[in-house]
């Protein structure tokens, strides 16, 4: 995985498979603490402690088409390489939350990548699910919420290609503006 | 500072989106749609499936082809990712491997437009449920 955005796209698939209807992704950037924290939480079916222990093992997977599952091990590796780590909290029926920490100034801290593209694709390709994306830099916040989008769209489906590219531009412009804000 | 797109702007755009959709719905039946599935598991994403999917969504619309682009999981062809499945109306699905943007363009122009098969097919037989 080249960047944070692709990790998000990948990890979110786990949430979708776990039957989540709401997936909240947050990227928190803190220059003072020199942290970049990625949190993905869902309201899916969750896992028991035993499964949580096994899940970072690349040879653990729930799928049947192949016997390896690399999504979480790759994210853990990526975070570890950038001086951070991975934490998973989950309990059956309560959903799952995955937190990956990166040292922001670390040479191996992955770039953010195409966050607008990933979030708009996820929203457009899973019209029955809701996604919230929060990006925090210092004290400035941008929140994208498909529940708001759907309310505005009314009958127009969120999966319409024109809507997907509109959402992509909207997230992109807002994140660009967020980057311009003073960080402290 | 330039104006940033907001929810209010989306509201204004809504009418335009709706009229485009109406136009499309009148012209064809949903069963006449081309279906494109992009494999988007860890293997696919790591090999660039997102760029292929982006390309498919924007270009099918630009070229006025009525299609639904969706994500699917790993089909077990991790070695050949990114893979995409094309199903033309009334035909069996065809799976392509090692798809990049260039290949995707060829698939749109030859396979989807003209029904001509393109190099890079993964020969499989299966029934979807």
According to DSSP, residue B109 is labeled I
Q: Do A65 and B42 touch (CB under 8 A)?
A: no
CA distance A65 to chain B (A): 5
Question: In this structure, which topology does domain B29-122 adopt according to CATH?
Answer: Glutaredoxin (3.40.30)
Q: What is the mean pLDDT of chain A?
A: 90
Could you state, in order of their start, the residue ranges of all structural domains in chain A?
Answer: 4-180
Other residues' Cβ atoms within 10 Å of the Cβ of residue B46: 20
**Of A80 and B73, the one with more pLDDT:** A80
Mean pLDDT in residue range A136-151: 93
**Of B29 and A151, the one with more pLDDT:** A151
Q: Give percent of chain A above pLDDT 90.
A: 67
Closest-CA residue of chain A to B65: A161
d(CA A77, CA A47): 21
Q: Residue A50: its pLDDT value, please?
A: 86
A98 band by pLDDT with thresholds 50, 70 and 90? very high
Inform me whether the pLDDT recorded for A181 exceeds 90: no
Mean pLDDT in residue range A108-113: 94
Q: Report the sign of the C-alpha dihedral through residues A50, A53, A55, A61, in that order.
A: negative
According to DSSP, residue B31 is labeled G
Q: Residue A66: its pLDDT value, please?
A: 63
Q: Residue A184: its pLDDT value, please?
A: 57
Q: Do A118 and B54 touch (CB under 8 A)?
A: no
Q: Residue B82: its pLDDT value, please?
A: 95
Closest-CA residue of chain B to A161: B57
DSSP conformation letters of A57-103: STT--S-SS-S---HHHHHHHHHHHTT-EEEEEEETTTEEEEEEEEE
Count how many Cα atoms sit within 13 Å of the Cα of residue A3 in the half-sphere of its side chain. Answer: 12
* Inter-CA distances, B102 with A113, A161, B15, B78, B106, Å: 21, 20, 34, 20, 6
Inform me whether the pLDDT recorded for A65 exceeds 80: no
Mean pLDDT in residue range A40-68: 81
Comparing CA positions, the residue from A26, A43, A44 lying closest to residue A35 is: A26
Buried residues in A138-150 as b, exposed as e (16+ CB within 10 A): eeeebebbbeebe
Comparing CA positions, the residue from A38, A40, A36 lying closest to residue A103 is: A36
Domain A4-180: give its CATH architecture.
2-Layer Sandwich (3.30)
Which residue of A17, A119, A125, A171 is the best one to mutate when testing the B interface, meaning the one whose CB has the most B CBs within 10 A?
A125
Supply φ then ψ for residue B82, to 5 degrees. -70, 140
Q: Do B46 and A6 touch (CB under 8 A)?
A: yes
A63 band by pLDDT with thresholds 50, 70 and 90? low
| Tokens describing residue A145 | 């919420």
Could you state, in order of their start, the residue ranges of all structural domains in chain B?
Answer: 29-122
pLDDT digits (tens), chain B, 129 positions: 467 888 888 888 888 888 887 776 665 555 678 999 999 998 999 999 999 999 999 899 889 888 888 888 888 888 999 999 999 988 888 999 999 999 999 999 999 999 999 999 988 766 655
Closest-CA residue of chain A to B41: A10
Q: Do A124 and B57 touch (CB under 8 A)?
A: yes
CA dihedral B66, B68, B74, B79 (to 10 degrees): 20
DSSP conformation letters of A119-170: HHHHHHH-TTSEEEEEEEETTEEEEEEHHHHHHHHTTS-TT-HHHHHHHHHH
Q: Residue A162: its pLDDT value, please?
A: 87
């Amino acid at each position: 995985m080249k960047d944070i955005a692709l990790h998000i796209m990948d990890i979110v698939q786990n949430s979708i498979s776990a039957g989540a209807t709401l997936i909240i992704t947050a990227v928190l950037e803190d220059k003072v603490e020199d942290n970049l924290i990625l949190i993905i939480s869902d309201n899916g079916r969750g896992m028991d402690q035993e499964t949580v222990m096994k899940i970072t093992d690349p040879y653990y997977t729930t799928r049947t088409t192949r016997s390896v599952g690399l999504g979480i091990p790759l994210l853990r590796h990526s975070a570890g390489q950038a001086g951070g780590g991975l934490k998973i909290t989950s309990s059956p029926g309560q959903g799952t939350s995955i937190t990956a920490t990166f040292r922001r100034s670390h040479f191996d801290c992955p770039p953010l990548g195409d966050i607008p593209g990933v979030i708009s694709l996820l929203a457009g390709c899973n019209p029955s699910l809701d996604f919230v994306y929060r990006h925090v830099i210092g004290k400035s916040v941008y929140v994208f919420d498909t529940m708001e989008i759907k309310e505005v769209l009314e009958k127009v489906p969120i999966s319409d290609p024109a809507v997907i590219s509109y959402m992509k531009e909207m997230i992109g412009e807002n994140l660009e503006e967020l980057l311009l804000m003073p960080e402290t | 500072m330039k104006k940033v797109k907001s929810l209010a702007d989306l509201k204004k755009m809504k009418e335009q989106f709706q009229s485009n959709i109406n136009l499309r719905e009148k012209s064809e039946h949903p069963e006449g749609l081309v279906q494109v599935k992009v494999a988007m598991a860890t293997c696919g994403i790591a090999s660039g499936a997102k760029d292929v999917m982006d390309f498919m969504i924007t270009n099918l619309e630009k070229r006025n082809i009525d299609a639904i682009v969706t994500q699917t999981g790993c089909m077990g062809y991790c070695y050949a990712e990114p893979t995409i499945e094309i199903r033309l109306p009334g035909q069996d699905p065809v799976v392509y491997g090692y798809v990049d943007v260039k290949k995707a363009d060829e698939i749109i122009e030859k396979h989807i437009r003209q029904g001509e098969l393109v190099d890079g097919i993964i020969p499989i037989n299966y029934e979807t449920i």
